[in-house]
Structure 1
Amino acid sequence: MSRASAFLLAAGFGSRLRPLTLARPKPLLPMCGAPMLDHVLAHVRQHGHTDVLVNAHHLWKQVAAWAETRGVALQVELPEILGTGGGLKAAEDRLADVFVVVNGDILSDVDLTALADAVTEGGAAMALRADPVLGERAPVDADTDNVVVRMREFAGTPGVGISGTHFTGIHAAHRSVLADVPDGFACIVRSAYTVRLPARRIRAIRHTGRWVDIGTPADYLDANLAVLDGDLATALPIWERGEGAQGRHWIGADARVEGEVRHSIVGEGARVPRAARLSDCVVWDGVTVPAGDHHRVVFFDDGALEVGDSG
C-alpha cells in the first residue's frame, strides 16, 4: 500500500460512553445501521483519500477486523495508548508528505481537500468551528489571514477575549512536523503545533457546516436520530442499507418488528415484539427489545441504557 494520506483516530477508550464502549470500540458503535467509522471513511474517500490508515488500542481486534474488510491499513498501539501525537509519530514512515487526521467519533462535512491544500511545507492546518457556547472545548483563535495565532489551553496563554471558535479535532499536516513529536504518548497540538505558532506555520479553515462530536450516550442517541431525520447527512447512503422513511424509522435487514416503532432505529436481525413500543430509540443488531413502552433508550449487546434529554 502507498503512504497513507488520511489517518483515522480509533484508539481511544470511549470512557464517557460507557457502558456502550465496554465491549465495543467507540468508533464502531452503530450509526443508522453502520459503524461510525464507515461514515468517517466515506467522508475521507469522498475527498479522494484512497490510502487510509487507522490506529487501534482499546478492543483493537475489532478495529482490525473492520479495517481488513474495508481495505484500510492498521496500526495497533500496544501495550500503551499513544495519544494523538504519539500515534502519528509511530506511523511517520507510513504517512504521505501531507496527510489529514480525522477522529473516528466525529461526524462532519469538513472540507478535507481545502484543509490539506492549506498546508505548507513544515506546517499544518486546523479546521475551526464557531460555537458561542464553547463549554469544555478549548478556544483556538485565527487572524484575518486565517493563521492560527492562539491556542489557549495548549499554549498556556491567558483565557481572555474568547473568540468563539474551537478546534474541531480535524486537521492536516506536513509529515516533517512529526520531528517535533516525542516517541511514546504525546499530543500533536501540545508538541508539534504550539512550537509553530510564533512562526505562523499553522493555517486555519473555518468550518460552518455539520459537525457532531459523539462524546456521551445522549450525543450518540441524538446523532443517530439526526442522521435518521436527514439533519446530519453523512457521505454514507444509509437508505441503501435499510428500509423505512426519513424522520420516521430505519429498519435493518432481517429485523423482526411486530410492535410499534416511532422515530427509532432498529438494527439488522433485531426483534421488537408485539408488546413493545419504541420512540426515539436505537436498537443494535441482533438485540431483542423487552415488552413495554421505551423512550430514549439504547438497546445494546449487553443491556439497555436509558438516555436523558441532551443539554
Structure 2
Amino acid sequence: MTSVAPSIMLFAAGFGTRMGPLTKTCPKPLIKVAGEALVDHTLKLTRGIPHTNIVANTHYLPDMMCDHLQPLGVQVSHEYPEILETGGGLRAALPMLDTNPVITMNTDAIWAGPNPLSLLLENWDPDRMDALLTCVPVAQAVGHNGPGDFTANDSGQITRGPGLVYGGVQILKTDMLNAIPEKSFSLNVLWDQMMDRGTLHAVPYPGRWCDVGHPEGIKLAEDLLADV
C-alpha cells in the first residue's frame, strides 16, 4: 500500500455502437441507469478517494458531454478529427493530468460492493507494479458470458487467459506511453509490454459488477443496484 492522490482519466469518447439506436442521439456515458447517467455512477466512485483532478476524453457528440461534465468540474480532452482509443486518448490527455501514476476508468460499468478505487490504492505497490487492474471473477460478472480476460498467479501478476474479467478501472504508470509509435492505439499494447516485464498485476474485486455495453445491460445493472 502506498499513499497517493492520483489524477483520474475517464474514457468517454467512444461511439457506443453496441447500444444500437440508444446512442444515435445520446453518447453512451449519458445513458441512464436507475435514473442516473452512467458517467455519474462512475463519478460517484471518485468521491470516495483522494485525488487531484479529473479529465474525460470526448469525441462522439462532444458538446453533450461537455455540457454535462464541465459543470461538475471535469476537464475535457477533446479528440479531433480522429478518435484515439484508450492508449492514444490517455497519452493525449497527459498534459492535463497532474500525476503519474493515474487512475483510468471506463464509464459504462456498475459496481456493487466496495469502492474499486479504494481497493486499487490499498493494493498499489509502485516498486513491483507498472499497472494494477481491478478484475472481477467471472462468476461475479453479471451478464458476462465469456471465460474472462486474465489469469493471475499467487503474486497477483496477470497474463492473458480465463478467470478474471477486466472491470475497466486501473492505476498505471504512464512513462511507457511515449515509446508507442502509433497515434491511435489500445491500452492493450501497453499491457502486453508490462506482461513481458512481469509488472502487470490485478486485484480481485470481491463484489459484483455489470458491464452496460449493450441495451440488455441496462436492466441487468438496474437489477444489480436494486439488490444492494
Q: Is the 8 A contact 2:134 2:205 kept in 1?
A: yes
* Counterpart secondary structure, 1:215: coil
Measure, in 2, the Cα distance between the counterparts of 1:137 and 1:168. 14
* Counterpart secondary structure, 2:47: helix
For structure 2, list consecutive stretches of 5 or more residues without a partner in the other structure: none
Alignment of 1:289-304 (within 5 A): none
* Counterpart secondary structure, 2:110: strand
Output the aligned Cα RMSD: 2.2
Q: Is the 8 A contact 2:138 2:148 kept in 1?
A: no
Aligned to 1:216: 214
Measure, in 2, the Cα distance between the counterparts of 1:139 and 1:124. 15
For residues 135 and 59 of structure 1, do their structure 2 counterparts lie closer, same or farther at Cα, with a shift above 3 Å needed? same
* Counterpart secondary structure, 1:167: strand
Deviation at 1:59, TM superposition (A): 0.7
Measure, in 1, the Cα distance between the counterparts of 2:115 and 2:181. 29
TM-score with structure 1 length normalisation? 0.64
Measure, in 2, the Cα distance between the counterparts of 1:217 and 1:73. 28
- Counterpart AA for 1:106: A
Residues paired across the two proteins, number: 216
Measure, in 2, the Cα distance between the counterparts of 1:110 and 1:182. 35
Deviation at 1:183, TM superposition (A): 4.3
Q: Is the 8 A contact 1:13 1:26 kept in 2?
A: yes
Q: Is the 8 A contact 2:116 2:169 kept in 1?
A: no
Aligned to 1:179: 178
1:212-255 CA distances to partner (integer Å, 9 max, x unpaired)? Answer: 1001111112323433x2x2x5xxxxxxxxxxxxxxxxxxxxxx
- Kindly indicate which of the two structures has a greater share of residues assigned to helix: 2
**Which has more radius of gyration?**
1
Q: Is the 8 A contact 1:47 1:113 kept in 2?
A: yes
Structure 2 residue corresponding to 1:101, chosen from 81, 99, 104: 104
Aligned to 1:123: 130
Aligned to 2:149: 139
Deviation at 1:89, TM superposition (A): 1.0
Measure, in 1, the Cα distance between the counterparts of 2:176 and 2:115. 22
Measure, in 2, the Cα distance between the counterparts of 1:128 and 1:186. 22
Measure, in 2, the Cα distance between the counterparts of 1:175 and 1:187. 13
Larger relative contact order (C-alpha < 8 A, sep ≥ 6)? Answer: 2
Deviation at 1:18, TM superposition (A): 1.5
Q: Is the 8 A contact 1:4 1:53 kept in 2?
A: no
Aligned to 1:193: 191
Q: Is the 8 A contact 2:56 2:74 kept in 1?
A: yes
* Counterpart secondary structure, 1:102: strand
Aligned to 1:111: 116
For residues 124 and 175 of structure 1, do their structure 2 counterparts lie closer, same or farther at Cα, with a shift above 3 Å needed? same
* Counterpart secondary structure, 1:18: helix
For residues 137 and 66 of structure 1, do their structure 2 counterparts lie closer, same or farther at Cα, with a shift above 3 Å needed? farther
Measure, in 1, the Cα distance between the counterparts of 2:71 and 2:151. 40
Measure, in 1, the Cα distance between the counterparts of 2:82 and 2:125. 30
1:265-292 CA distances to partner (integer Å, 9 max, x unpaired)? Answer: xxxxxxxxxxxxxxxxxxxxxxxxxxxx
Larger deviation, residues 28-37 vs 178-187: 178-187
TM-score with structure 2 length normalisation? 0.86
For residues 35 and 123 of structure 1, do their structure 2 counterparts lie closer, same or farther at Cα, with a shift above 3 Å needed? same
Q: Does 1:34 align with 2:36?
A: yes
Aligned to 2:200: 202
- Kindly indicate which of the two structures has a greater share of residues assigned to strand: 1
Measure, in 2, the Cα distance between the counterparts of 1:80 and 1:186. 12
* Counterpart secondary structure, 2:26: coil
Overall identity of the aligned pairs, in %: 27
Deviation at 1:114, TM superposition (A): 3.2
1:175-221 CA distances to partner (integer Å, 9 max, x unpaired)? Answer: 213234444210112x2111121321112101121311001111112
Measure, in 1, the Cα distance between the counterparts of 2:69 and 2:34. 19
1:131-183 CA distances to partner (integer Å, 9 max, x unpaired)? Answer: 158634642011101112x124xxxxxxxxx3x22222221101213234444
Alignment of 1:266-305 (within 5 A): none
